[in-house]
Amino acid sequence: MRAPTNRLRLRRWSRRNKLFAALAFLGPGLIAANAGNDAGGIATYSSVGARYGYDLLWMMVVITVSLIVVQEMAARMGAVTGKGLADLVREQYGIRWALFATSSVLVANLGICISEFVGIGAALGLAHIPVQISVPIAAIAVWTLLVRGSYKLAERIFVVMTIPFFAYPIAAILAHPHWGKVGTAIVAPHIQTSPGYILLFVATAGTTITPFMQLYVQSAVVERGIGPDELAGERAEVVTGSIFANLVASFIIVATAATLYLHGIHNVTNAAQAAKALAPFAGRFAEVLFAVGLLGASLLAAAVLPVTAAYVISETFGFERGVSRTPREAPVFVGVVTTLVIIGAVVAMIPGIPVFRLLVGVQAVNGVLLPITLYFVWRLSASAEVMGKYRNGRIFNLVAGATVVATSALSLILLVVTVRGGV
DSSP string over 288-323: HHHHHHHHHHHHHHHHHHHHHHHHHHHHHHT----T
Q: How many CA atoms lie within 13 A of 24 on its CB side?
A: 9
Per-residue pLDDT at 14: 47
Q: Are 410 and 205 in contact (CB under 8 A)?
A: yes
pLDDT band at residue 143 using 50, 70 and 90 as cut-offs: very high
Q: Where are the alpha helices (DSSP H) in 209-283?
A: 211-224, 231-256, 271-282
Helix or strand run (H / E) with residue 334: helix 331-348
Round to whole Å and give the CA distance between 247 and 239: 12
Q: Are 285 and 174 in contact (CB under 8 A)?
A: yes
Per-residue pLDDT at 68: 92
* Higher-pLDDT residue of 412, 46: 46
Architecture of domain 35-419: Up-down Bundle (1.20)
**Of 402, 415, 401, nearest in space to 366 by CA:** 415
Q: Are 315 and 321 in contact (CB under 8 A)?
A: yes
Amino acid sitting at position 311? Y
Give the torsion through C-alpha atoms of 366, 369, 375, 377, to 10 deg: -80
pLDDT band at residue 336 using 50, 70 and 90 as cut-offs: very high
Mean pLDDT on 317-340:
89
**Which of 331-334's residues contact partners 24+ apart within 8 Å by CB, and which partners?**
334/147, 334/310
353: left (phi over 0), alpha (psi -120 to 50) or beta: beta
Mean pLDDT on 312-330:
86
Round to whole Å and give the CA distance between 298 and 192: 32
Chain mean pLDDT for the chain? 82
Per-residue pLDDT at 356: 54
> Over 80: is that where the pLDDT of 242 sits?
yes
Mean pLDDT on 91-109:
82
Estimate the share of the chain in helix, then strand, then coil, as percent rounded to the nearest 5: 80, 0, 20
Range of weakest confidence among 89-93, 255-259, 268-272, 377-381: 268-272
Q: Are 322 and 287 in contact (CB under 8 A)?
A: no
Q: Are 71 and 59 in contact (CB under 8 A)?
A: no
Predicted structure pTM score: 0.82
Mean pLDDT on 152-170:
81
pLDDT band at residue 10 using 50, 70 and 90 as cut-offs: very low
Round to whole Å and give the CA distance between 105 and 216: 11
